[in-house]
Chains A and B, each alone.
Chain A
Amino acid sequence: MKPLMLHGHERPITQIKYNREGDLLFSSAKDHIPNVWYSLNGERLGSFDGHAGAVWCLDVNWESTHLMTGAADNSLKIWDISNGKILASVTTLSTVRACVFSYSANMAAYSTDTQRKQICGINVIDCRISDSFGSYPILQIPIPDYKVTAMQWGPIDETIITGHEKGRICQWDIRMSKKVNEVDGHQGSINDMQMSKDSMMFVTASSDHSAKLFDTESLMHLKTYQTERPVNSAAISPILDHVVLGGGQEASVVTTTSTRVGKFDSRFYHLVFEEEFARVKGHFGPINSLAFHPDGRGYATGGEDGYIRIQSFDPSYFEFNFDF
């Protein structure tokens, strides 16, 4: 594998995402300025200058026209990808922690943190209201107990799945605006949730050192991928039965002696057998976010060290098979 190392951020990477076709890679970091890169050669295409705080989350719509970012400056912004201009800015009462476009991108959901006197909330905006870009939520759900730490839309604009502190996973029906299902999926915070290509399953990454696979419809627990360190991000391969996990010892408790202690490798597991079969080294801090290329022939990682690494797989990766 020949990694591309992108050094366009000065602070830890918070989230990375490919667009639907996979030619572009978007990245956000604690340094206020999200970037967009050509995934093929690692060249930076542009940046999105406008936030005044750490950017915690981002999402790109299916047509690759709009980018949505949520930040600690209490705002959610929607950008025109073609020219880097702000189309809309939603002012919130606390940090935006997670944001996602729905399948149609007619709607978007974001969560706000529990902060000072504010309690965490899930908000849905309608992106079709063109002038203000739906800056007033059409739906607001307060979450008084465990705050939302990760979020995804269900397959067809009907449901939202949220991952919370202490490992709770909830399913919300947007049409009825109520909670329809909840499970205690993990023992620690859910740091990331990513859908399978068909959105029928999703994988959660948790501080309890494991990642788990769930059924989107029923929230039924399907598989567990166990490690020895907090898992910050996990993704499902769009073409093979593989899952990749990234994480490592928390930056605040990492000893300075050796990167081996932290275990900052990306770790590949078989989706069904739950067995680890490969590790990729590289980062010298925990991996905060990772994503498969939509063609499944590579993946990218963003780390606490501020680097993004784009890896394309060797032929041996595709030749490797488990006996069964």
Chain B
Amino acid sequence: MRYEEIPDEWTPPDPQPYIEQRDLHYYLLEPDAYDQFVVTCEGGNPVTIWQNTIPHPTKLQERGRWTEKYVQWSPLGTYLATIHHKGVALWGGPTFEQIMRFTHIDVQFIEFSPCENYLVTYSPNALINDQGHLIIWDIRRGEIMRTFEPDSPTVWPTFKWSKDDKYFAKIGQDVLSIYETPSFGLLDKKSVKLMGIRDFAWSPTDNILAYWVSEMKDVPARVVLMEVPSRTEIRANNIFNVCDAKIHWQKSGDYLCVKVDRYTRCKREKGENKYINMYYNFEIFHLREKNIPVDSVEIKEPIHAFAWEPVGLTFAVIHGEAANIQVSFYGLKSGHKPVLLKRLDKRQCNTLFWSPAGQFIVLADLRNNGTLEFVDASDGTVMNTSEHFRVSDVEWDPTGRYVVTATSNWKSKDDLGYWIWTFQGRILSRNNLQKFWGLQWRPRPPTLLTAEQQKEIKKNLKKYSPQFESKDRMRLTRASKDLIEKRAAAMKKFEEYRQRTRAVWDQQKGKRLELRNNVDTDTLDSDTHNMEEEYQDRGLSSTVQISTKCPTYVVLPT
């Protein structure tokens, strides 16, 4: 239809007015490097963006009904995505203006590509409007790049992106489909056939992906590193007796750890495999060394959590039976086997939260009491132990200076809200919000400083720290002065009020005396005559009807 009325003569299109790009990175220029976080309350009413200033956070933006479902920062922190019934909106810039809108009815999940070029959205009901279930959008143009129809109920995220947005891949039955951008077609026009592929993950720094295939009859399970786009296997490791494996890349891409759940015997029972005498291996791949050597650490106890230090060469594991949960820290060195650095016994925790800057870690018990331990992993000292009852989430700020522990409404109905701590475990504020949904720190892009520059700064920390300390002291003095002024003002106002009521009270004195037979009861001892009587009355208690039950009272120690 569109093409039926094509005018015979071509007219050049009208030039579009120039729209100035807003500064989307203004928040990175904050001189004190204060971080931002977004707090969502029930039904997105309100959504508040805070700046974590010292000593109290500052409210930057607050909007009622900003979202209908939830909000999400983009991976580098440029955009805030709000999810609505009709689709997704992106906001950014100093005043959080709308940057782009993506119409996808009933959208449920969204996923950004790592460099914020593309957005993947998923809606279970999109077919009503002839939209696809899965849509990949170009963020800057707001256009659909490709739609997908998943053939089976999918796990989210369906696609995993390579670090540079060049490739994205999804797993299927015995295949791994790798797509490339910007063509959005299959790499080499075909999927990779991999019998029994179970899971895969991209390296955070290189176009290498790791996948593992399960054991089949006499063929062992394999963990493989594959280079993309060449699809060459650069390293493969065969392991027997594997029932499950989890792939954990270290953030700097230097190491890969595959946690392998192994068994000594396997029984078929009622059509299900029953594994006996489980033990666990951590297969460590040294990617930066020649031929990629693999080390193995074996732990015979159940594993509860594993986490790489985001920068640095340490990983932490929670393991052990319920009676003695242990936390072990292992260190790596090129050309060496992993060494046990420190082991903490009898802990109450089930989850590990490393500081994004490394070294510090929070051991949290998200199941029971909400015990929190703030540990310096460099020497294993517990800096502080505290608790946040019913805690459901622990979130480090992107610089590793603050930690937020939160209780969201999916975990409990009461005590909702978030607490802010320093990295050393000193509580800064407790914020109770009756309809709290969640909190997310705004991510930061990777630093532009080179490793040498960072080293230089670390070396000269002593030189810089006095400046910051004096700045902090000034802020605190100002804050306590503010508080005292606020209190003084409140007290002054209240005293004025009290003087007015006092005048009324004084006026009513005559009336009061009249109502109580001229006995002055305004103060406790103004009615001395009566007091004497009362003391005598105590002797008369025999006339009072005493209950047959003996009075029982207990004096408790303080």
Chain B residues within an 8 Å CB radius of A38? 538
Say whether A42 contacts B490, CB under 8 Å.
no
Given A200-B504, A215-B501, A43:B516 Cβ within 8 A: no
Within 8 A of B (CB), among A294-312: 294-295
Q: Considering only CB atoms, which chain B residue lies closest to A157 in the complex?
A: B515
Whether a CB of chain A sits under 8 angstroms from the CB of B54 is no
Q: Please, how many angstroms separate the alpha-carbon atoms of A264 and B515 in the complex?
A: 39
Query: B491 and A324: CB pair below 8 A?
Result: yes
Q: Does B415 contact A (CB under 8 A)?
A: yes
Contact B516 A62 (CB under 8 A): yes
Given A45-B544, A217-B504, the answer on whether A20 and B521 have CB atoms closer than 8 Å is: yes
A103 & B515 in contact (Cβ 8 Å cutoff): yes
Which residues of A, 22-52, contact B by the 8 Å Cβ criterion? 22-23, 33, 35-38, 41-47, 49
> B324 on the interface (CB 8 Å rule)?
no
A87 at the interface (CB under 8 A from B): no
Chain B count of residues within 8 A CB distance of the other chain: 44
Q: Which residue of A lies closest to B387 (CB)?
A: A260
A5 touches B554 (CB 8 A): yes
With a CB–CB cut-off of 8 A, which chain B residues contact A228? 414-415, 432
Is the pair A35, B547 in contact by a Cβ cutoff of 8 Å? yes
Contact, CB under 8 Å: A42 / B504: no
B389 part of interface (Cβ distance < 8 Å): yes
- Within A56-84, the residues touching B (CB, 8 Å) are 62-64, 82-84
A212 → B minimal CB distance (Å): 14
Residues of chain A lying within 8 A (CB to CB) of residue B512? 103, 155-156
User: Within 8 Å of chain A (Cβ to Cβ): is B29?
Assistant: no
Decide: A104 near B515, CB < 8 A? Known: A84-B544, A295-B524. Answer: yes
Q: Is A247 an interface residue (CB 8 A)?
A: no
> B551 on the interface (CB 8 Å rule)?
yes
Q: Is the CB of A83 within 8 A of B545?
A: yes
Q: Taking CB as reference atom, which chain A residue is nearest B522?
A: A198
B545 touches A323 (CB 8 A): no
Complex interface bits, A139-150 against B, C-beta within 8 A gives 1, otherwise 0: 000000000000
Contacting pair B515 A106 (CB below 8 A): yes
Please tell me if the beta carbons of B545 and A47 are within 8 angstroms of each other in the complex: yes
Q: How far is the CA of A201 from the CA of B537 in the complex (A)?
A: 33
A185 close to B (CB within 8 Å): no
Q: A2 is contacted by which of B389, B488, B545, B558 (Cβ under 8 Å)?
A: B558
Do A201 and B554 touch (CB < 8 A)? no
**Cα of A36 to Cα of B554 in the assembled complex, Å:** 17
**Distance between Cα atoms of A324 and B434 in the complex (Å):** 30
Nearest CB to that of A156 among chain B residues? B511
Q: Are A323 and B414 in contact (CB under 8 A)?
A: no
A residues near B508, Cβ cutoff 8 Å:
155-156
CB-CB under 8 A from B195, the residues of chain A are: none
Which residues of B are found within 8 Å of A82, using beta-carbon distances? Answer: 537, 540, 543-544
Closest chain A CB from B411 CB (angstroms): 13
Q: Is A272 interfacial (CB 8 A cutoff)?
A: yes
> Number of A-B pairs whose CB atoms are under 8 Å?
128
| Secondary structure call for the A interface | loop
Q: With A and B bound together, what is the CA distance between A46 and B541 in angstroms?
A: 8
A170 to chain B, nearest CB (A): 20
A20-B521, A249-B414, A323-B484 given as contacts; is B545 within 8 A of A49 (CB)? yes
Would you call A277 an interface residue if the criterion is a C-beta within 8 Å of the partner chain's C-beta atoms?
no
Q: Is A129 an interface residue, CB under 8 A from the partner?
A: no
Of A22, A201, A217, A261, which contacts B524 at CB under 8 A? A22
Bound together, the chains give a CA A209 to CA B558 distance in angstroms of 29
Q: By the criterion CB–CB under 8 Å, are B524 and A21 in contact?
A: yes
Q: Which of the residues B389, B521, B537, B554 comes within 8 Å of A62, measured between beta carbons?
A: B521
Is A6's CB within 8 Å of the partner chain B? yes
Within the complex, the shortest CB–CB distance from A176 to chain B, in Å, comes to 18
In the bound assembly, the distance between CA atoms of A62 and B519 in angstroms comes to 11
Residues of B within 8 A of A229 (CB): 414
Q: Are B494 and A198 in contact (CB under 8 A)?
A: no
Q: How far is the CA of A158 from the CA of B488 in the complex (A)?
A: 35
Identity of the chain B residue whose Cβ is nearest the Cβ of A200 in the assembled complex: B501
Chain A, 241-268, contact with B by CB distance < 8 Å: what is the 0/1 string? 0000000010000000000110000000
Distance A46 CA – B347 CA, assembled complex (angstroms): 53
CB distance from B288 to the nearest CB of A (A): 49
User: Judging by beta carbons under 8 Å apart, are A43 and B553 in contact?
Assistant: yes
Partner of B547, one of A44, A217, A273: A44
Residues of chain B from 519 to 557 with CB closer than 8 A to chain A in the complex: 521, 524, 530-531, 534, 537-538, 540-541, 543-547, 549, 551-557
A4 and B553 contact, CB distance less than 8 A: yes
Q: Are B558 and A6 in contact (CB under 8 A)?
A: no
Complex alpha-carbon distance, A35 and B488, angstroms: 44
Whether A1 lies near B558 (C-beta < 8 A) is: yes
With A46-B546, A83-B544 as known contacts, state yes or no: A7 contacts B552, CB within 8 Å. yes
Give which listed residue, B491, B538, B555, contacts A272 with CB less than 8 A: B491
The yes or no answer to A8 lying at the interface (CB within 8 A) is yes
Contact across chains for B541 and A2 when beta carbons are under 8 A apart: no
A21 near B534 (CB under 8 angstroms)? yes
Among A22, A84, A106, point to the contact of B545 (Cβ < 8 A): A84
Q: Which of B521, B537, B544 has the most CB of A within 10 A?
A: B544
B56 within 8 A of A: no
Q: How far is the CA of A4 from the CA of B552 in the complex (A)?
A: 10
Q: B556 near A5 (CB under 8 angstroms)? A: yes
* A121 contacts partner chain B, Cβ-Cβ < 8 Å: no
Knowing A157-B515, A228-B432, A324-B488 are in contact, say whether A46-B545 is a contact too (CB < 8 A).
yes
Residue ID in chain B nearest A37 by CB atoms = B551
A53 within 8 A of B: no
CB of B497 within 8 Å of the partner chain: yes
Does A222 have its Cβ within 8 Å of any Cβ on chain B?
yes
CB of A23 within 8 A of CB of B534, answer: yes
Q: Cα distance A271–B495 when bound, in Å?
A: 12
**In the complex, B468 has a CB within 8 A of chain A:** no
Say which residue of B488, B530, B551, B556 sits within 8 Å of A43 (CB atoms): B551
Q: From B485, which residue of chain A is reached at the shortest CB distance?
A: A324
Chain B residues at the A interface, C-beta cutoff of 8 Å = 389, 414-415, 432, 434, 484, 487-488, 490-491, 494, 497, 501-502, 504-505, 508, 511-512, 515-516, 521, 524, 530-531, 534, 537-538, 540-541, 543-547, 549, 551-558
A-B contact pairs, 15 of them (CB 8 A): A2-B558, A5-B555, A6-B552, A7-B553, A7-B554, A8-B547, A21-B534, A23-B538, A38-B538, A44-B546, A46-B544, A49-B545, A200-B504, A228-B414, A273-B487
Nearest first, the 10 A-B pairs at minimum CB distance are A44-B551, A104-B515, A324-B487, A84-B545, A200-B501, A42-B553, A46-B544, A47-B547, A5-B554, A272-B494
Using A5-B556, A83-B545 as known contacts, list a sample of 7 further A-B pairs with CB atoms less than 8 Å apart, ordered by residue number in A: A2-B557, A2-B558, A5-B554, A44-B546, A200-B501, A228-B414, A324-B488
